[in-house]
Amino acid sequence: MRIVDARVIVTCPGRNFVTLKIVTSDGVTGVGDATLNGRELSVASYLSEHVVPALIGRDPARIEDTWQYLYKGAYWRRGPVTMSAIAAVDTALWDIKGKVAGLPVHQLLGGRSRDGVTVYGHANAVDVDAVLSEISAYIDLGYRAVRVQTGIPGLASTYGVGKDRTFYEPADAAIATENTWSTEAYLAHVPTVFARVRDEFGPALKLLHDVHHRLTPIEAARLGRSLEPYHLTWMEDPVPAELQSGFREIRRHTTTPIAVGEVFNTIWDCQELITDQLIDYIRTTVVHAGGLTHLRRIFDLAALYHVRSGSHGATDLSPICMSAALHLDISIPNFGLQEYMRHTPETDEVFPHGYRYEGGYLHPSEEPGLGVDIDEELAARYPYRPAALPVNRLEDGTMHSW
Ligand code: CS2
Ligand code: MG
């Protein structure tokens, strides 16, 4: 069997997605997500200009060899564009392997290690009263874990609090919108939110909070310490993580668990964080960290150091990425939590999928392969629309991490 075709499909059913569909000489097809929010066309072009021509004629069964070929063969290593392109190929080849074997991908990865994949939902609202009712709604749906984000008094808008109550979409303008940030206002407000939330919902509910890379290590240490009475499951992306040793400073001061990794693209971005036990959850994803092959390598390393998985699962990761993530989540020994943000009905229609939510868990599809596809005709009805993520400035106008 050989690869005879590979199509790069860009579609915008409410938001942009890039998908690779590989076709074999036996007529078997496989799909992979290649979406990089706000930079979609760069991955589409990387795939169609540089990767697709090299795929034609290759044996689709050689997943590891193809991964190494694309990684080492580019000479220029790592980076989100390259690694998202490699991820798309890798994911599509696992899909094909599963279909050829007649098995769902989690069976190829060793089979189930648990009954379902615990997911966390997103309670976000402009103020604390409104967020309490959002949390109640998630509890009513059966969620055991909820991420809590609120507006910050004195700031016009912030990350994690959407305009739409059901669907969160930060990439909302062709040219990036600008937010304003105050670390002091934030640090003063967040503990008051979690005090109310714990008081209202008691000790059992797992609570998470995303800091979105906005603090310095000592500020993150202060936040972690102030949140200790409310025992969060994790504090996410407390600081930008290029400087891995910076996490030592946070660790020295607080027992609030740390999750990081949604912007990482290889094992080298988290090698020190994991082996020095500076984090508790690694949040790398299938699409941005080189596909199932590389993500499993990261999670295997993490398992040796008591670090559990917590894969990113925002709406900018397509249902193909979510399908693939669930096969890995259900099979690895060190699964922690899976993020789950519901896609819009238009997106769900373009990507028919067999995974399902029930009582706080997602269940991967039992169909051969990943159990997800792209409806190319429908996808063609939603042309690409430029959309950038916001940028962020301090009150005096200084650029800050968004
Ligand atoms: C967030 C994301 O889900 C998360 O944890 O950090 O919503 C992130 O802002 C987007 O994925 C960016 O594309
Ligand atoms: Mg995040």
Domains and their CATH numbers in the chain: 3-104 (3.30.390.10), 108-367 (3.20.20.120)
Cβ < 6 A, ligand 1 pocket = 37, 170, 210, 212, 262, 312, 314, 316, 339, 389
What is the H or E stretch that residue 84 is in? helix 80-101
Ligand 1 centroid – CA 314 distance (Å): 6
Which pairing describes strands 391-394 and 361-363: parallel, antiparallel, or unpaired?
A: unpaired
Give the separation between CA 400 and CA 262, rounded to whole angstroms: 18
Ligand 2 centroid – CA 313 distance (Å): 9
pLDDT score, position 381: 98
| Residue linked to tokens 């060190």 | 334
pLDDT digits (tens, 9 = 90+) for 206-216: 999 999 999 99
pLDDT digits (tens, 9 = 90+) for 366-397: 999 999 999 999 999 999 999 999 999 999 99
Q: Report the C-alpha dihedral over residues 58, 61, 64, 70, rounded to 10 degrees.
A: 20
What values do phi and psi take at 79, rounded to 5? 90, 145
pLDDT score, position 218: 98
CA proximity to 51, closest of 81, 11, 17: 81
For residue 210, give both structure tokens: 């995303």
Find the catalytic residue in 106, 122, 212, 343: 212
Ligand 2 centroid – CA 191 distance (Å): 19
Q: Which residues of the chain have pLDDT under 50?
A: none
Residue whose Cα lies nearest atom 8 of ligand 1: it is 314
What is the H or E stretch that residue 322 is in? helix 319-331
Region of residue 311 (phi > 0: left; psi between -120 and 50: alpha; otherwise: beta): beta
**CA Rg value for the chain:** 20
Supply the pTM of this predicted model: 0.97
Find the catalytic residue in 159, 168, 355, 361: 159
pLDDT score, position 165: 65
pLDDT score, position 159: 83
Q: Which atom of ligand 1 is nearest to the CA of 38?
A: 13
Give the separation between CA 329 and CA 334, rounded to whole angstroms: 9
Ligand 1 centroid – CA 297 distance (Å): 23
Pocket test for ligand 1, best of 17, 286, 316, 341 (most atoms within 8 A of CB): 316
- Alpha carbon of residue 288 to chain centroid: 8
- What DSSP designation does 104 have? B
